[in-house]
Amino acid sequence: MTQKMGFTSTCVREIKENRTTDPHILPLYATSSFAFTDIDQGIRIFSGEEQGHVYGRYGNPTIETVASKIAKLEGHDVEGAEPGCILFSSGMSAILSLILGTLKSGDKLLTQANLYGGTTEQFQKILAPNGIKPVFSNLSDPESIELQLKSDSSIKMIYGESPANPTLSCIDLKNIGLLAKKYQVISVIDNTFATPYLQKPLQYDIDFIIHSTTKYLNGHGNSIAGALVAKDAEFLQERIWPVMKLAGTNANPWDAWLLHNGLKTLSLRMDRHCQNAQKLAEALQAEQSVVKVNYPGLVNHPDHALAKKQMRGFSGMLSFELSGGLQHGLSFMRKISFCKLAPTLGDVDTLILHPASMSHLNIPRDVREAQGITDGLIRLSVGIEDFADIHQDLTQALA
Ligand SMILES: Cc1ncc(COP(=O)(O)O)c(C=O)c1O
């Protein structure tokens, strides 16, 4: 354009000079679409002849860079693994997009009762009325899994979470991988609590891995997103990417960029989460008013041996039961001052939750108790602060 641009046009137009080509840190591409150099390039990109970005809902360089980092982390040191990953708007949308892309009405998925509550609700309230039925079972019992797979050919997926809320129970990933192969069903593990630093489901031939990246992967409590990692990157692109594109379950670049910052310190944070949680679990066990501590790092946890076999560390989540039920649970929570009362997990600071009066307030007592959520149960997401500060807060509240 040779003619001098008007003032308003100068305001409106993008200036493309002065854009460095090699920024040290991942740029945040806050753009809803991508311009073509000319109509011919537009045609080539739309027809798939040339690789390129088109529209933010279909893909964005910031988001894809973060997704490829998560794929590398899940595949790290796993022989022969070249997984793919798609980032979604949340953990919940990653789960839904996976199921919409793989199952159809009439199919069933075999799962466990003690999943994250939102996942159970999604299965019951969104999938079941649309013909995809969840079958709740004990995924720690290989015989019962095999029996169900043998007797019901409409089961097409096994969906597990390990470790799982609130008792931090673990399931044997090797068994799940083997049974899924034997009966040709899809295997999925929610690896949110463990992260790929502590546990790599791909080692056990698991097909898909779910992350609420909102938790440990981000670690700083400032972004919501979800990741779906697939052993078969091509399948992911062919079957799940169209669901993301057409259901609009894509992540946004800002949340992805924040997640990218968090990922840089994942291993350091996880080491510290594990150390603090182990010390705290041991200290809590010695407290008179604590009836029981659930932490897979404790030798008396029912899944300690299994967790030791399939995890590098036991993560930062634990729960403990106070004697004195609801009354003691509430008065303990009122005394807490250093730890933060917040309904999430995996942040750098210690977060505490009393499920009976908070996250599970509307769930009938018998239903929540069946999952180990008693009136006196306290859930802790142990942070990376100085151990003495966390410990002191809990002991003064217990006293
Ligand atoms: C184990 C687990 N999976 C999935 C989710 C859902 O993730 P999001 O809240 O990012 O949608 C959560 C949320 O707490 C979770 O704890």
Cα separation of 172 and 153, whole Å?
A: 22
Residue nearest to atom 12 of ligand 1 (CA): 212
Residue nearest to atom 6 of ligand 1 (CA): 91
Residue nearest to atom 15 of ligand 1 (CA): 116
Give residue 118 CA to ligand 1 midpoint distance, Å.
Answer: 7
Closest atom of ligand 1 relative to the 92 alpha carbon: 11
97 and 238 co-located in one domain: yes
Domain boundary among 263, 287, 306: 263
pLDDT band at 2 (very low <50, low <70, confident <90, very high): low
Average of per-residue pLDDT across 22-36: 95
Domain boundary among 248, 263, 278: 263
Question: Active site residue: 69, 107, 116, 379, which one?
Answer: 116
Cα separation of 363 and 377, whole Å?
A: 15
Q: Is 44 a catalytic residue?
A: no
Q: What are phi and psi of 134, to 5 degrees?
A: -80, 140
- Domain enclosing residue 126, as ranges: 59-263
Q: Is 116 a catalytic residue?
A: yes
Domain boundary among 209, 230, 263: 263
211 and 273 co-located in one domain: no
Give residue 205 CA to ligand 1 midpoint distance, Å.
Answer: 23
Cα separation of 306 and 287, whole Å?
A: 26
Q: Does a structural domain hold residue 20?
A: no
With 0-12 / 13-18 / 19 or more C-beta atoms within 10 angstroms meaning exposed / middle / buried, residue 367 is: exposed
Give residue 294 CA to ligand 1 midpoint distance, Å.
Answer: 20
Tens of pLDDT, residue by residue over 250-306, are 999 999 999 999 999 999 999 999 999 999 999 999 999 999 999 999 999 999 999
Tens of pLDDT, residue by residue over 52-108, are 999 999 999 999 999 999 999 999 999 999 999 999 999 999 999 999 999 999 999
CATH of the domain at 100: 3.40.640.10
254 and 320 co-located in one domain: no
170 and 65 co-located in one domain: yes
Q: Is 215 a catalytic residue?
A: yes
Question: Active site residue: 107, 172, 190, 303, which one?
Answer: 190
Closest atom of ligand 1 relative to the 192 alpha carbon: 1
Cα separation of 243 and 57, whole Å?
A: 11
110 and 135 co-located in one domain: yes
Q: Residues with Cβ within 6 A of ligand 1?
A: 90-92, 116, 118-119, 161, 190, 192, 212, 214, 224, 226
308 and 259 co-located in one domain: no
Tens of pLDDT, residue by residue over 202-260, are 999 999 999 999 999 999 999 999 999 999 999 999 999 999 999 999 999 999 999 99
Q: Is 190 a catalytic residue?
A: yes
Which helix (H) or strand (E) is 220 found in, with range?
none
